[in-house]
Amino acid sequence: MFGMPVVVAILLLFAPSALAQVAWEAPDGIDWRAETIYSEGTRLAAEVFSAADKSGEKLPCILMAHGWGGTVRGLRRDAVEFARAGYLAVAFDYRGWGGSDPRVILAEPAPNGNPGRFRAEVIAIREVVDPVEQGRDWLNALHWLQSEPMCDPARIGVWGSSYSGGHVLFAAAHDKRVKAVFSQVGGMDSRFVVANDEQAAQTLDEATRRARGELAYPDPGAVAVGALRGAPIRDKLMHYAPVELARQASHASLMFVIAENEELFDNRDHAIKAHAAATGIKKLVIIPGIKHYGIYREAREQAQQLAIGWFDEHL
């Protein structure tokens, strides 16, 4: 059908299994463990961070996930700082990224009349950017938190950066259990894939060819957007604009941190627009003199302290 390499696997529908993850040594004073979150049957790799002297306590919780093309490994430095500040920090990888299982599709039609489980060849979908699936992963991670023993479910915040800076607005808009949002250099509108006739034609052509089985999902690393790893599933991006959900997320306290010299998009169409539309507690901070990636470099510590201050105030 697709002309892609396939993986031979036993497809066990909803069968629980431990997710293998690479061990990581946490800094002194930090408790760390790997966990598994199930999102629509797919196992997501998650990591849980807390201060060792808070062991067994109910803590305010910060849920985190990466932006376009990142993984949990890039979030550990921030998660450790949040744990040191007294929070339970939980970071996870989207399906098909990092240590998470991929979404799989059948290489051949399923046998008729065979419910439950069967042996099949499957195609693993990895390292694509599908904001619809990623949004569902956020919502299922929020569900998972509700029975995490150290999480105080009345004090949950979400932290996102770059593309996940839009996902956190989506998550808060769809789950009123989110009490505080911190979005830094957030990209909140993916409708650039239909911004003009040429872009729209490409987006709709890809959707048609994929629907007819003529276009494969890209192999990992085969497609990038600028310096970003990860192939966009354009017909999913065309409807994704969490910037329009700020009013729905206004039950939560919203903080938007932007780079003064943002080069990847116009802040006026993203965080500034969302901040203006929000009706509840909100704050907009502009970090002077930095570009988009400065939030991970020269302004990283400042951004961490802004996040901790916001969560301290509202959780």
61-85 confidence digits (pLDDT tens) = 999 999 999 999 999 999 999 999 9
Cα 84 from Cα 96, distance rounded (Å)? 30
Q: pLDDT confidence of 118, banded at 50, 70, 90?
A: confident
Sheet holding 282-287, edge to edge: 30-39, 42-51, 88-92, 59-65, 151-161, 178-184, 253-259, 282-287
Domains of the chain listed by start with CATH number: 51-94+127-314 (3.40.50.1820)
Residue 24 has a pLDDT of: 79
Q: pLDDT confidence of 223, banded at 50, 70, 90?
A: confident
Collect all residues with Cβ–Cβ distance below 8 Å to 306 and sequence separation of at least 6: 182, 184, 255, 257, 285
pLDDT one-digit tens code per residue, 199-211: 999 999 999 999 9
The mean pLDDT value for 87-106 works out to 97
Residue 116 has a pLDDT of: 80
The partner residues of 151 in beta bridges, in order of sequence, read 59
Q: Determine how many CB atoms are found less than 10 A away from the CB of residue 210.
A: 16
Q: Determine how many CB atoms are found less than 10 A away from the CB of residue 291.
A: 16
Tokens of 160: 């996102």
- Distances in whole angstroms, Cα of residue 143 to Cα of each of 76, 146, 305: 22, 6, 27
Question: Higher pLDDT residue, 225 or 11?
Answer: 225
Q: pLDDT confidence of 22, banded at 50, 70, 90?
A: low
Cα 276 from Cα 24, distance rounded (Å)? 41
Choose the weakest-confidence range: 9-18, 95-104, 218-227, 263-272: 9-18
Position 17 pLDDT exceeds 50: no
Cα 229 from Cα 57, distance rounded (Å)? 38
pLDDT one-digit tens code per residue, 119-166: 889 999 999 999 999 999 999 999 999 999 999 999 999 999 999 999
Cα 130 from Cα 143, distance rounded (Å)? 20
Instruction: For strands 151-161 and 253-259, give the pairing.
Output: unpaired
Cα 302 from Cα 306, distance rounded (Å)? 6
The mean pLDDT value for 10-28 works out to 53
Collect all residues with Cβ–Cβ distance below 8 Å to 114 and sequence separation of at least 6: none
Q: pLDDT confidence of 281, banded at 50, 70, 90?
A: very high
Q: Give the chain's mean pLDDT.
A: 92
The partner residues of 105 in beta bridges, in order of sequence, read 123
The partner residues of 122 in beta bridges, in order of sequence, read 7, 106
Position 1 pLDDT exceeds 60: no
SS3 assignment, position 292: helix
Collect all residues with Cβ–Cβ distance below 8 Å to 102 and sequence separation of at least 6: 42, 95, 96, 124, 125, 126
Position 15 pLDDT exceeds 80: no
The partner residues of 8 in beta bridges, in order of sequence, read 121
Least Cα distance to 182 among 207, 202, 156, 158 occurs for 158
Position 19 pLDDT exceeds 60: no
Residue 227 has a pLDDT of: 78
Tokens of 311: 């969560």
The mean pLDDT value for 34-58 works out to 97
The mean pLDDT value for 76-99 works out to 98
Cα 167 from Cα 161, distance rounded (Å)? 9
